[in-house]
Structure 1
Amino acid sequence: MVQFALDYAGVAVCAISGALAAGRRSLDLLGVVVIAIATSIGGGTLRDLLLDRHPVFWIAHTGYLIVAIAAALFTLLYVRYFKPPERLLLVADAFGLALFTISGARIAYEAGVDGVVVVMMAVITGVFGGVLRDVLCAEIPMILRKGHIYATAAIAGATGFVLLKNFDLDPTVPALAGMAIVVGLRLAAIVWNLELPVFSLQDHGRHGDDKKGDD
């Protein structure tokens, strides 16, 4: 019951972020709902397909779809009268990322796949919905934007989950620790504007070669 409640909370937060992104693109009601649903269930859907889990989680439990649609409609009503608290939503999104990441890690671990695959499935669950949101809204996906600590936080949290699973601990300890890592890294990035180093190639010699070709 607690796990379902946490999953529903993650779905709601991601649906809200999707609805806001659709609103910034001035989409109609159907567009807002579609983007919200894609954002909230996209990662889990891809995870289930890759792990060959049948039926896909939102088909087995349609409550996920209902929560996503309700969150999208609530967002539409809220923004008509109030300005969305962007900073608060970033914090909520950090918790949503943590919930989805560790949920994906738990499901993959229970499927008996290798630890590296567990981390991959966790990251896909956590970030792929956001990738769908950004692609559908014609934006560069957040995980590809310069320096953003987003997928990195999911990787770190999922890795911590897998490592702690090797010890004889209460099952809730790896999950809570993994979520704490994700939330901690993401909030640190938000508060202190932390970024990853940027890899940039300098085009040495190009101008010189062009100059020679002009002679």
Structure 2
Amino acid sequence: MTLFDTLDILGTIAFAISGALSAMNRRLDLFGIFIIAFVTAVGGGTLRDVLIGATPVAWMQNTLNLYIIGGVTGLSIILRNKLDYLKKSLFLFDTIGLGIFTIIGVETGIHTELDPIVSVALGTMTGCFGGVIRDILCNEIPVIFRKEVYATASIAGGICFMILYSLNIPVNIIYISTTLLIIIIRLLVVKFKVSLPMFPVRNQNN
């Protein structure tokens, strides 16, 4: 098993936990928890594969991911009372998944011989859109559209990946460096409450 395969599994686990925690926070039933965990883990990758014409999509060809998601969902439910500070746990696993799936998407774009900008966009979609689907199904405004630096961290990681790749840096170093960069950016912006500007529309009645 390559480092790429290992990261793919770790990303699936991280996003599945993130989805399961979010669903439990919304008091969904067992089926609902599994569905949210599932779409969080495979949503971004499914969109990526559809856009590049790689069908059937990855999770349909490799059912290992289905078993992983099912097992992780079950463990998350069993250990729910052990997971203190659910919001912090949700943030942590969501950030790990974002970092890992971003590099998977970028590398997929490279292997498909897409333009570097498109490859970065593909990485951002892979990393972010599972969370977008999760939040929409849980009746929340997706994190990517809120003031938190989320997609921006993914884009920064994607650009870092392309730069290191163009310099012929060993691929395993690129994987680790890019993933850590995205995780560190997310941790720092939350710790120091950094956010992108918002532009509310002034009430015409005032």
Q: Counterpart in 2 of 1:131?
A: 132
Amino acid at match of 2:56: P
Unaligned runs of 5+ in 2: none
Q: Counterpart in 1 of 2:12?
A: 11
**How far apart, in 2, do the equivalents of 1:207 and 1:89 lie?**
40
Q: What TM-score comes out, normalization by structure 1 length? A: 0.88
| CA deviation string 1:123-180 (max 9, x = no partner) | 11001000010111111111112x2011110011001111222223222333333222
Question: Bigger CA drift: 84-93 or 15-24?
Answer: 84-93
**How far apart, in 2, do the equivalents of 1:83 and 1:171 lie?**
34
**How far apart, in 2, do the equivalents of 1:52 and 1:171 lie?**
25
* CA drift at 1:94: 1.7
**How far apart, in 2, do the equivalents of 1:84 and 1:15 lie?**
18
1:104-143 map, 5 Å: 104-143=105-144
* CA drift at 1:95: 1.8
Q: What TM-score comes out, normalization by structure 2 length? A: 0.91
**How far apart, in 2, do the equivalents of 1:38 and 1:84 lie?**
24
Amino acid at match of 1:182: I
1:56-71 map, 5 Å: 56-71=57-72
**How far apart, in 2, do the equivalents of 1:41 and 1:207 lie?**
45
Q: Is the 8 A contact 2:18 2:93 kept in 1?
A: no
| CA deviation string 1:8-57 (max 9, x = no partner) | 11111111111111112221111110110000000001101101113311
Q: Is the 8 A contact 1:98 1:183 kept in 2?
A: yes
**How far apart, in 2, do the equivalents of 1:29 and 1:110 lie?**
38
Q: Counterpart in 2 of 1:187?
A: 187
Q: Counterpart in 2 of 1:84?
A: 84
Amino acid at match of 2:177: A
**How far apart, in 2, do the equivalents of 1:109 and 1:198 lie?**
33
**How far apart, in 1, do the equivalents of 2:150 and 2:186 lie?**
6
**How far apart, in 1, do the equivalents of 2:199 and 2:8 lie?**
36
Unaligned runs of 5+ in 1: 209-215
Identity %: 35
CA distance 1:89–1:21, change in 2 (3 Å)? closer
**Deviating 4+ runs (over 6 angstroms):** none
**How far apart, in 2, do the equivalents of 1:12 and 1:176 lie?**
17
